């Protein structure tokens, strides 16, 4: 973070969860549409602070940075995001529950 030493790099491969693949796709799509820049994402990642940065996984950090940039860019408001999250939560905790609801 911010030019600090990161320690050893773990090079083992792992399978990505579907939500991680979606975060990656969202980042690509938003970047292609010009909704934010790499510099904007990097600033949002570094603005998290070291404790938050270390506490979250790679894709958790990316979705937070994407979200921050989209809010700052006026794509949606924090209130709109909160309302949408409430709507989605009412569907159920799993995809199956949402389909049956």
* pLDDT tens, residue by residue, 14-62: 789 999 999 999 999 999 999 999 999 999 999 999 899 889 999 999 9
Written as six digits, the tokens of 71 are 């809010």
What CA–CA distance (Å, rounded) separates 101 from 98? 5
**Three-class SS state of 8:** coil
pLDDT at 46: 92
Contact 56, 64 (CB under 8 A): yes
What pLDDT, on a 0 to 100 scale, did the predictor assign at position 22?
95
pTM for this entry: 0.77
Average pLDDT over residues 63-82: 96
What is the architecture of the domain spanning 18-98?
Orthogonal Bundle (1.10)
Write down the domain spans for the chain. 18-98
pLDDT of residue 101: 61
Alpha-carbon dihedral of residues 24, 25, 30, 33, nearest 10 degrees?
140
Q: Assign 94 a pLDDT band (cuts: 50, 70, 90).
A: confident
Cβ–Cβ under 8 Å, residues 1 and 50: yes
């Amino acid at each position: 973070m911010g030019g600090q030493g990161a320690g050893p790099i773990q090079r083992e491969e792992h399978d990505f969860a579907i939500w991680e693949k979606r975060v990656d796709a969202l980042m690509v799509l938003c970047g292609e549409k010009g909704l934010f820049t790499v510099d904007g994402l990097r600033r949002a990642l570094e603005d998290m602070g070291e404790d938050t940065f270390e506490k979250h996984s790679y894709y958790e950090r990316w979705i937070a940075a994407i979200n921050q940039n989209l809010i700052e860019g006026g794509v949606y408001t924090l209130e709109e995001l909160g309302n949408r999250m409430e709507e989605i939560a009412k569907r159920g905790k799993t995809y199956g529950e949402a389909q049956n609801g």
